[in-house]
């Protein structure tokens, strides 16, 4: 919509879609408002940011804008109006490039960050006290293993590491009994049954529970943990906890060593119990 005295751009200032900050030349007295004059003025005005108001334009007494000098045309834009571009640092071809660590995905390796859940350091006991302490020695000891079939890809790895650790500890194959159960929920009752036979110095429980969309994970993991502890308390036979409780299946790979840790814990507890019985019989 054109109004008398406006330019020929044809912008409706009453519309809410018009940017009030859009730069345009303010009419001055004595300036012809024809298309040629407007084009000439726009040609002499530098490009400004939409968000910034246009600067004042110096006009000659006859109403014509002062032509920009050659120095002004070659000058850099105002720093306040245009943000400076980041400078590119040129490297010397003879200089050495800084060392960069290889990306884990590109190298095809799984990098496991150190756990912050544990405090490093050894237990220090003051001198002058009687101490009972066991070692993970499997000589002449029978070991029972109860392992769940559910999530078999994970529990198979746990079982492999447990068997490897038993062999390193000196436990013979004919002294190892493996009981397979459907899932983690059945681990406690199976561990209790093995312990009550009094044929095993310790029991190793292996399983895996992965969190899902329902509270099923919480019930199974909680009952399996408390049930395995109850099996040890009722029978007096050490029962180690080798149950993985994961949020995602990808967390299993860095934690398959829990199978070996469960073996070492069970053998150490069996050894310290034997020391306790020997000390009590004196």
Q: Would the pLDDT of 68 be above 80?
A: no
The model's confidence at residue 137, banded by pLDDT at 50, 70 and 90, is confident
Query: Which residue bears the tokens 């001198």?
Result: 127
What fold does the segment set 143-280 form as a domain?
Rossmann fold (3.40.50)
Task: Name which residue leads in pLDDT, 96 or 274.
Answer: 274
pLDDT value at position 102? 46
Run of H or E including 104:
helix 104-107
| Residue with the two structure tokens 């292996």 | 206
Chain segment 118-134, per-residue pLDDT in tens? 677 888 899 999 888 88
Rg (CA), the chain: 40
Structure tokens given for 235: 């029978």
Give, for 181, the enclosing helix (H) or strand (E): strand 176-181
User: What's the pLDDT score for residue 189?
Assistant: 97
Give me 40's structure tokens.
Answer: 């000439």
Torsion, Cα of 71, 74, 80, 84 (10° steps): -150
Number of C-beta neighbours around residue 3 at 10 A? 7
| Number of residues written out for the chain | 282
pLDDT of residue 116: 56
Q: Where in the chain is the domain with CATH 3.40.50.960?
A: 143-280
Instruction: Indicate the range of 58-62, 157-161, 173-177, 247-251 predicted with least confidence.
Output: 58-62
What is the mean pLDDT of the segment spanning 178-189? 97
What are the pLDDT digits (tens) for 193-249? 999 999 999 999 999 999 988 888 899 999 999 999 999 999 999 999 999 999 999
pTM for this prediction? 0.58
More confident residue, 16 or 282: 282
> How far is Cα 269 from Cα 264, in angstroms, rounded to an integer?
9
Tell me how far apart the alpha carbons of residues 197 and 235 are, in angstroms, rounded to a whole number: 10
Q: Would you please indicate which residues are annotated as catalytic (active-site) residues? A: 216
């Amino acid at each position: 919509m054109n109004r008398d005295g406006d330019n020929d751009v044809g912008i409706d200032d009453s519309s809410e879609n018009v940017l009030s900050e859009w730069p345009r030349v303010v009419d001055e007295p004595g300036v012809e408002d024809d298309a040629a004059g407007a084009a000439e003025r726009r040609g002499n005005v530098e490009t400004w940011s939409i968000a910034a108001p246009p600067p004042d334009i110096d006009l000659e007494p006859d109403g014509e804008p002062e032509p920009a000098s050659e120095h002004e045309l070659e000058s850099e834009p105002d720093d306040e109006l245009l943000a400076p571009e980041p400078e590119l640092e040129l490297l010397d071809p003879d200089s050495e490039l800084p060392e960069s660590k290889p990306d884990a995905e590109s190298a095809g390796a799984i990098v496991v960050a150190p756990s912050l859940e544990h405090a490093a350091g050894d237990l220090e006991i003051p001198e002058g006290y009687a101490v009972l302490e066991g070692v993970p020695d499997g000589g002449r000891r029978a070991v029972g293993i109860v392992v769940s079939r559910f999530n078999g890809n994970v529990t198979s790895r746990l079982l492999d590491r447990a068997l490897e650790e038993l062999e390193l500890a000196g436990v013979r194959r004919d002294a190892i009994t493996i009981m397979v159960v459907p899932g983690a929920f059945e681990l406690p009752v199976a561990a209790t049954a093995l312990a009550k036979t009094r044929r095993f110095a310790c029991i190793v429980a292996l399983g895996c529970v992965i969190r899902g969309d329902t509270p099923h994970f919480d019930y199974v993991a909680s009952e399996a943990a408390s049930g395995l502890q109850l099996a040890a308390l009722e029978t007096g036979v050490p029962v180690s906890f080798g149950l993985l409780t994961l949020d995602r299946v990808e967390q299993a790979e860095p934690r398959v060593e829990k199978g070996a840790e469960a073996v070492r814990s069970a053998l150490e507890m069996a050894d310290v119990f034997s020391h306790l019985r020997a000390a009590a019989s004196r």
